[in-house]
């Protein structure tokens, strides 16, 4: 018994000693330090081993503690990133690489896109192979990305004014969106880093300021790069990736922004992308580049525009309900709060890689917009998430969210002046809870509820003409002249344009028919490039425009033959004359024999959003939860007349013949007021 007791005594002490050693030893086999990291590693499946290699590499040495934290940041946020591969994707990405060459050949972007569609079929993500970062990224790729990101952060003089948090979000990420994975950092660094050599040596001018470095870089890219701004093949197409972005330097705001982001991050310049999901005056979103200087001041660039301090550029003039910043990391607070309220979220909130920065971009916003409870429709929602929706044609898209509470529903940081409505997301679709409304300057809600009384409306356009205003103003001061001298050495002014034209076809009747003239022309005022789309001259006895041989000054601003003077007499209001010089250009007709001019009809250059004769239109108004038709019409002139339109309603005019640019409006004091 004594021997047995001794054995048990010694065994107990040995067991306690081993337990102590194990308890005090570092847990080398425990890789996941957080629940987010562990969830990501579980999602990795068979690829978990590759990701753990990265974590072990940087965990072993205290000097690599920041690199370990950076690796955790990437892996924790990796599950929500996917990318695509396939021949169809390669064919459609060639659109961007061919844009500039197609332009030189006289091919429009739409013609190029139609060629690709005709050859390879419509684009669809369903036709591609889909991959998940968390399941495919290997350790070598991830380590190279981390090493190069740290290299540029630490070696650049402005790196000392870039926090670790900003480094993780705006320098470290291996991707921008859902582009095909590529190993891009070293190649871009070798190519573009020498462009900042002079700036790096200039310590007097502030080479420690990341925004100053961004300004120098963007100015250099603007000088050295040819670019072409146009729309892309569609929203479904993934991001183009570094190879195409750098080779093409063309596309929409998304592709041009991606180009700059790759270059900036490869050189250690933190670069964010800020965006508005939908801007109030149109149907689409917009994005631009955002930088912060060493003092925390915000700078932006709508590349290829210059870098400007916040408040001095176009993004701030756009009507906007909300502005967000794209982040690599998931907004955990938003995600967890929304999941607590409802298991299903929609739109940009389904996977929120974003941060609300509305307050940085406008002085005219409400810190808290409280929706009047008496404006809510009756019923009970299935979801506790209320979305604030903005308009895109006859659809509505969520741009902000809050808790659905009938006693008090408040949305934070909302810019006033835009049309909105409240909805929940139920059974795969939006369920509306208010009529459309806007908040006026007086901070009072104005709801667009159709009235029982009706009115007659006269419509001239289907989309705001704000972007056409430059063309309209260019015609003020322009003159129509007649002469019997082909060089117009002796001439008579038939008419001078005194106010900007506001419709597709403006008709002028001369006080009395002119003298007979063989040659007639339009000449724009100074600094106008004689910009005009169409001109028609009518004789005293004629119902049809006079025919003749086009004459004028050759050469167009585009230098590609697309906007020469014969366009003014081709019968198409979509084509125009845009003289190569600011002044001195003109477009006219040789009538063959002298004729007396009685009437002139002219059309400003435009983006084809006016009402066009012989096109088929349909007018709708928003009636509670749906849109109702007020009937179809074929336009006989450049205007449409509708009777019996409910007063106070939100309206939309659809063109069934062509185009897709249509925008909501109201009818106030005899005019279309765009919303």
Q: Looking at residue 440, what is its pLDDT?
A: 77
What percent of the chain stands above pLDDT 70? Answer: 94
pLDDT band per the 50, 70, 90 thresholds, residue 531: very high
Q: Looking at residue 8, what is its pLDDT?
A: 38
336 in Cβ contact with 413 (< 8 Å): no
Q: Looking at residue 466, what is its pLDDT?
A: 87
Q: What is the mean pLDDT of the chain?
A: 91
Does residue 19 surpass a pLDDT of 80?
A: no
Q: Looking at residue 436, what is its pLDDT?
A: 97
Q: Looking at residue 28, what is its pLDDT?
A: 38
Q: Looking at residue 33, what is its pLDDT?
A: 61
Does residue 534 surpass a pLDDT of 90?
A: yes
Angle 35-43/48-59 helices, nearest 10 degrees? 140
Integer Cα distance of 601 and 227 in angstroms = 37
Residues 554-588: pLDDT tens digits?
999 988 898 999 999 999 999 999 999 999 999 99
Selection from 275, 110, 84, 88 nearest residue 180 by Cα: 84
Residues 431-457: pLDDT tens digits?
999 999 998 767 789 999 999 999 999
Residues 220-265: pLDDT tens digits?
999 988 887 888 888 899 999 999 999 999 999 999 999 999 999 9
Report residue 536 as tokens. Answer: 């028609």
Mean pLDDT of 188-193: 97
Strand order in the sheet with 651-655: 626-634, 616-623, 651-655, 665-668, 671-674
User: Residue 628 contacts by C-beta under 8 Å, 6 or more apart in sequence?
Assistant: 620, 621
Q: Looking at residue 103, what is its pLDDT?
A: 81
pLDDT band per the 50, 70, 90 thresholds, residue 23: very low
* Lowest mean per-residue pLDDT among 52-61, 342-351, 606-615: 342-351
Mean pLDDT of 11-24: 39
Handedness of CA 231, 233, 239, 240 (dihedral sign): negative
Q: Looking at per-residue confidence, does 27 or 136 come out higher?
A: 136
pLDDT band per the 50, 70, 90 thresholds, residue 206: confident
Residues 384-431: pLDDT tens digits?
999 999 999 999 999 999 999 999 999 999 988 899 999 999 999 999
Does residue 143 surpass a pLDDT of 50?
A: yes
Residues 67-82: pLDDT tens digits?
999 999 999 999 999 9
Q: Looking at residue 316, what is its pLDDT?
A: 59
Mean pLDDT of 498-522: 95
160 in Cβ contact with 296 (< 8 Å): no
Does residue 134 surpass a pLDDT of 50?
A: yes
User: Residue 368 contacts by C-beta under 8 Å, 6 or more apart in sequence?
Assistant: 410, 411, 412
Torsion of CA 372, 376, 380, 385, to 10 degrees: -60
Burial 19-52 (b: 16+ CB within 10 A, else e): eeeeeeeeeeeebbeeebbeebbebbeebbebbb
Q: Looking at residue 313, what is its pLDDT?
A: 53
Q: Looking at residue 362, what is its pLDDT?
A: 81
* Lowest mean per-residue pLDDT among 17-21, 196-200, 286-290, 324-328: 17-21
Q: Looking at per-residue confidence, does 355 or 104 come out higher?
A: 355
Q: Looking at residue 12, what is its pLDDT?
A: 42
227 in Cβ contact with 256 (< 8 Å): yes
Q: Looking at residue 29, what is its pLDDT?
A: 41
Integer Cα distance of 539 and 546 in angstroms = 7
pLDDT band per the 50, 70, 90 thresholds, residue 32: low
Q: Where are the domains of the chain?
A: 2-80, 87-127+138-319, 332-447, 455-464+611-674, 467-603
β-bridge partners, 437: 420, 447
User: Residue 43 contacts by C-beta under 8 Å, 6 or more apart in sequence?
Assistant: 79, 132, 134, 135
What percent of the chain stands above pLDDT 90? Answer: 80
Q: Looking at residue 26, what is its pLDDT?
A: 36
Q: Looking at residue 443, what is its pLDDT?
A: 75
Q: Looking at residue 17, what is its pLDDT?
A: 40
* Lowest mean per-residue pLDDT among 115-129, 251-265, 313-327: 313-327
Three-class SS state of 95:
helix
Pick the CATH number of 87-127+138-319 from 1.10.357, 2.60.40, 3.40.50, 3.10.620: 3.10.620
């Amino acid at each position: 018994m004594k021997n047995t007791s001794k054995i048990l005594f010694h065994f107990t002490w040995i067991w306690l000693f081993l337990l102590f050693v194990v308890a005090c030893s570092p847990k080398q086999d425990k890789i996941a330090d957080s629940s987010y990291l562990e969830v990501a590693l579980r999602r990795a499946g068979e690829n978990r081993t590759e990701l753990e290699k990265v974590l072990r590499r940087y965990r072993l040495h205290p000097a690599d503690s920041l690199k370990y934290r950076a690796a955790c940041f990437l892996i924790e946020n990796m599950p929500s990133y996917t990318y695509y591969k396939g021949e169809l994707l390669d064919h459609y990405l060639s659109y961007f690489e061919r844009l500039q060459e197609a332009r030189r050949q006289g091919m429009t972007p739409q013609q190029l896109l139609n060629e690709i569609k005709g050859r390879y079929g419509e684009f669809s993500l369903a036709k591609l192979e889909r991959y998940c970062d968390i399941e495919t990224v290997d350790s070598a790729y991830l380590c190279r990305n981390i090493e190069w990101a740290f290299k540029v952060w630490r070696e650049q003089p402005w790196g000392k004014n870039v926090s670790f948090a900003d480094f993780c979000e705006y320098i470290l990420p291996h991707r921008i969106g859902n582009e095909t994975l590529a190993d891009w950092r070293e190649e871009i660094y070798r190519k573009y880093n020498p462009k900042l050599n002079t700036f790096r040596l200039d310590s007097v001018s502030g080479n420690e300021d990341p925004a100053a470095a961004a300004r120098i870089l963007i100015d250099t890219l603007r000088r050295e790069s040819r670019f072409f701004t146009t729309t892309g093949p569609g929203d479904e197409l993934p991001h183009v990736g570094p190879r195409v972005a750098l080779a093409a330097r063309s596309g929409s705001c998304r592709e041009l922004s991606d180009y700059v982001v790759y270059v900036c991050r490869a050189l250690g310049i933190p670069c964010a992308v800020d965006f508005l999901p939908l801007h109030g005056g149109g149907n689409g979103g917009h994005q631009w580049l955002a930088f912060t200087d060493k003092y925390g001041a915000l700078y932006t660039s709508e590349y290829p525009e210059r870098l400007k301090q916040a408040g001095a550029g176009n993004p701030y003039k756009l009507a906007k309900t909300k502005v967000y910043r794209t982040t690599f990391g998931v907004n955990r607070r938003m995600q967890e709060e929304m999941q607590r309220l409802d298991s299903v979220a929609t739109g940009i909130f389904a996977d929120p890689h974003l941060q609300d920065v509305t307050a940085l971009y406008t002085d005219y916003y409400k810190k808290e917009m409280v929706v009047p409870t008496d404006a809510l429709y009756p019923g009970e929602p299935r979801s506790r998430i209320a979305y604030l929706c903005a308009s895109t044609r006859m659809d509505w898209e969520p741009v902000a969210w809050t808790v659905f509470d009938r006693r008090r529903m408040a949305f934070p940081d909302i810019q006033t002046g835009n049309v909105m409505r409240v909805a929940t997301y139920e059974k795969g679709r939006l369920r509306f809870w208010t009529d459309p409304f806007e908040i006026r300057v007086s901070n009072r809600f104005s709801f667009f509820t159709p009235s029982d009384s009706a009115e007659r409306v006269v419509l001239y356009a289907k989309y705001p003409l704000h972007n056409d205003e430059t063309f309209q103003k260019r015609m003020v001061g322009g003159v129509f002249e007649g002469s019997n001298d082909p060089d117009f050495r002796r001439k008579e002014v038939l008419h001078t344009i005194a106010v900007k034209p506001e419709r597709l076809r403006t008709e002028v009747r001369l006080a009395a028919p002119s003298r007979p003239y063989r040659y007639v022309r339009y000449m724009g005022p100074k600094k106008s490039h004689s910009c005009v789309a169409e001109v028609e001259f009518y004789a005293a006895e004629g119902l049809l425009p006079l025919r003749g041989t086009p004459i004028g000054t050759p050469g167009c601003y585009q230098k590609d033959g697309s906007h020469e003077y014969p366009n003014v007499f081709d019968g198409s209001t979509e084509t125009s004359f845009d003289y190569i010089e600011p002044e001195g250009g003109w477009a006219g007709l040789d009538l063959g024999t002298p004729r007396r001019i009685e009437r002139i009809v002219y059309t400003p250059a435009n983006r084809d959003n006016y009402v066009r004769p012989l096109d088929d239109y349909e007018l709708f108004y928003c009636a509670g939860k749906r849109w109702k038709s007020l009937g179809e019409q074929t336009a006989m002139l450049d205007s449409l007349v509708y009777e019996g339109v409910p007063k106070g309603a939100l309206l939309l005019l659809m063109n069934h013949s062509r185009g897709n640019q249509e925008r909501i409006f109201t009818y106030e004091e005899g005019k279309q007021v765009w919303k």
